[in-house]
Amino acid sequence: MTVSASAAVTPDFLARIPKADIHLHLDGSLRVETLIELAKAAKVSLPSETAEGLQTLVFKEKYADLPDYLQGFGLTCAVLQTPEALERVAYELAQDCIAENVPYIEVRFAPQQHTRPGQNIADVLRAVDRGLARAAAERAASPEVVSGAALPFRYGIIACAMRFFLPAFSPSYAELFDALPSASLPEIHGLASLELARACARLAADEGLPVVALDLAGAENGFPAVEHQAAYQAAAEGLLYATVHAGEAYGPESIYQAITKCHADRIGHGTWLLAADRVTSASVKDPQAYVTRLAQLVARRHITLEVCPTSNLQTLPEIPDIAHHPVLEQLEQGLPVCINTDNRLISRTTPARELGLLAAARADTAASLRPVVLEGFRTAFFSGSPAEHAAYCARAAALYDQVAAVP
């Protein structure tokens, strides 16, 4: 079957095609009703007890700046402190994605923000895996999947190390500061990441848990990825993949570090990859040549940019609308790009909505949007065999074409 070049990208089309969401934060993607319930149970006070109130005060469509965007995470992390709560939100997230024809997701979060004495990194990751696995098992038995009309639900878990944290961020971080009173802040950040990478590598190797990659999240400006080089080395030696939030709140040199110091297989956001005017290092004599060579390397090595348009529009006021988003030029240059939500609750979005934004800006047809949608499946840190991954991607492409062929 061939894709009709003229098939229009309508909301119905976007709802029906299979989609992947591989840049998706667990703690930014709760159901608002679940947050309210969990907060009551955990005695966490919220600025409002209703979904409407929280959507007016915290989870907004527009944010003043990054700190405004980030305040919601304080609330969601506060209620996600037990294995039961983590398992529940992971299960519900999978269910919400399945309901939207998003059969493949990679869920990321920072385990060390949920650990405490008696609840270690492994406990936290196992809880999230239980929720996702339960949803996957239920979906596998559904008539749509059994008949082959829909893809089975598959997932990976990505563990986020943090570029920056303070003792107040979690009991585990506080213990680390207490135990290492002479260490510098960068040393403590790097050691926490190293411990996380080792724990993830062990879980993947010894228990077969689908912890597929290490990520680096948090304040980018002033907290360079190079401080986490040892952690990424341990992840690589543990056969984990690497992704790094980079080029979002800092320029191309942050992406350079992610690739040269952290073995990045993918880049989270990568918004400013082509922004020569954001190169700050005095040692770079020709910023334009620098970003051109960096982009060449990203394309040649197929280091996919995990672009999250709405999130960027909400936190980067220098991008006034999607028509000015650097993703348009990145795609024109042929760079590998996939489209993701970042945070379903905090950005108030879905994969279909994000693809719709891009499609409107580029006047996409089904045929021109196809490579962007399928890139999310292709570049996945798929936990099955290479043959299974290839078959899964082929099935996603066939289902896409089936939807595109129906007028």
Nearer to Zn ion, 93 or 393 (CB): 93
Q: Is 248 a catalytic residue?
A: yes
- Nearest approach in angstroms of CB 23 to Zn ion is 6
Nearer to Zn ion, 308 or 359 (CB): 308
- Nearest approach in angstroms of CB 4 to Zn ion is 34
Strand 20-25, strand 104-109: pairing: parallel
Residue 7: closest CA among 396, 391, 359: 359
Strand 154-162, strand 337-339: pairing: unpaired
Q: Which residues of 376-401 are buried (b: 16+ CB within 10 A; e: fewer)?
A: bbbbbbbbeeeeebeebbebbbebbb
Q: How far apart are alpha carbons 112 and 121 in whole angstroms? A: 6
DSSP state of 365: B
Question: What character string, x for contact with Zn ion (CB under 5 A) and - otherwise, covers 327-346?
Answer: ---------------x----
- Nearest approach in angstroms of CB 342 to Zn ion is 5
By the 8 A CB rule, do 209 and 125 touch? yes
Q: How far apart are alpha carbons 45 and 47 in whole angstroms? A: 7
Nearer to Zn ion, 306 or 364 (CB): 306
Q: How far apart are alpha carbons 85 and 49 in whole angstroms? A: 18
Residue type for 394, please?
A: A
Of 220, 248, 306, 354, the active-site residue reads 248
HSE, side-chain direction, 13 A CA sphere, residue 366:
26
- Nearest approach in angstroms of CB 248 to Zn ion is 8
- Nearest approach in angstroms of CB 215 to Zn ion is 8
Encoded tokens for 384: 């099955």
Q: How far apart are alpha carbons 179 and 181 in whole angstroms? A: 6
Q: Which residue is nearest to Zn ion (CB)?
A: 342
Nearer to Zn ion, 25 or 154 (CB): 25
Nearer to Zn ion, 17 or 160 (CB): 160
Count of residues near Zn ion by CB under 5 A: 1
Q: How far apart are alpha carbons 299 and 336 in whole angstroms? A: 6
Using CB atoms within 10 A of its CB, is residue 105 exposed (0-12), middle (13-18) or buried (19+)? buried
- Nearest approach in angstroms of CB 271 to Zn ion is 11
Residue type for 321, please?
A: D
By the 8 A CB rule, do 344 and 23 touch? no
Nearer to Zn ion, 21 or 227 (CB): 21
Q: How far apart are alpha carbons 194 and 124 in whole angstroms? A: 17
- 391 CB-near residues (< 8 Å, 6+ apart): none
Nearer to Zn ion, 23 or 370 (CB): 23
- Nearest approach in angstroms of CB 365 to Zn ion is 29
Q: How far apart are alpha carbons 344 and 92 in whole angstroms? A: 12
Residues in contact with Zn ion by CB under 5 A are 342
Residues with a catalytic annotation lie at 248
